[in-house]
Amino acid sequence: MIKSRAVVLVSGGMDSCVTAAIANLEHELAFLHINYGQRTEQKELKSFHALADHYGIRQRLIADLTHLSKIGGSSLTDTNIEVADADPKKLFHTVKGDIPTSYVPFRNANILSAATSWAEVIGAQYLYIGAVEEDSSGYPDCRKEFYEAFEKMIGLGTKPETHISIVTPVIHLKKSEIVKRGMELKAPFELTWSCYKSEDRACGICDSCALRLRAFQIAGLEDPIQYAQRPDYSL
């Protein structure tokens, strides 16, 4: 049987790693990494290739969307905006409309547009993205309705013979459930990188580190990567 083809967006973080592990059960995969001028890009790119090697992926594309850093407006790409340390009260109980400084304006639409162009050219019918709606940082472009609207727009903006579905297999999972699902599928967490702040050891205190550490702590599992600090976020 010829497997259908899927493009997986692989940032190098734990959500995209587990998303790849899930997509790998059903499809022949192509890995897409987006460089949008994020501070920790070199480390993320290393994780991307390590994950691609692990899954034996031949088709890899690095797309430079560096206009997102030119445009600015986010602490992830604009060095004039400080990366906030995690405030657990705010971070784990997101108030609607309270968007963190790490929000990159309309980032996921830029990413999905690039992914759709590639999928159309290589004949992939599925786009996998490891977006997480609940238990995430409250980015507006991580919600299921956004992906549904995007998929509808793809149908109108591509060739008549192109049919591309967006698959968000972890969108309704809590981050601790993503960790557990990844462990079941033997996802190589040791190859991943999530920290927004540094590239040597993960800081342990930025939003992304806090959400990740908390997920492992709640799942009762050890995060295999190195941290400068490992605060207890499970309480």
Binding site for a second copy (CB under 8 A): 61, 63-68, 70-73, 96-97, 99, 103-110, 112-114, 116-118, 120-121, 140-141, 143, 145-146, 149-150, 152-154, 156-161
Q: What is the DSSP string of 12-62?
A: SSHHHHHHHHHHTTTSEEEEEEEE---TTHHHHHHHHHHHHHHTT---EEE
Question: Per-residue b/e over 104-128, b at no fewer than 16 CB within 10 Å?
Answer: beebbebbbbbbbebbbeeebebbb
Give the shortest CB-59-to-a second copy separation in angstroms.
Answer: 12
Give the shortest CB-170-to-a second copy separation in angstroms.
Answer: 18
Distance CA 136, CA 144 (A): 13
Query: How many CA atoms, within 13 angstroms, populate the side-chain half-sphere of residue 54?
Result: 20
Question: Collapsing DSSP states into helix, strand and coil, what is residue 165?
Answer: strand
Closer CB to a second copy, residue 8 or residue 22? 8
Closer CB to a second copy, residue 67 or residue 201? 67
Give the shortest CB-230-to-a second copy separation in angstroms.
Answer: 33
Extract the tokens encoding 153.
Answer: 């727009």
Residue 132 DSSP class: -
Extract the tokens encoding 206.
Answer: 């930025």
Closer CB to a second copy, residue 5 or residue 54? 5
Give the shortest CB-168-to-a second copy separation in angstroms.
Answer: 14
Distance CA 156, CA 99 (A): 30
Closer CB to a second copy, residue 100 or residue 188? 100
Closer CB to a second copy, residue 58 or residue 186? 58
Closer CB to a second copy, residue 25 or residue 160? 160
Give the shortest CB-23-to-a second copy separation in angstroms.
Answer: 20
Length of the chain: 235
Give the shortest CB-139-to-a second copy separation in angstroms.
Answer: 9
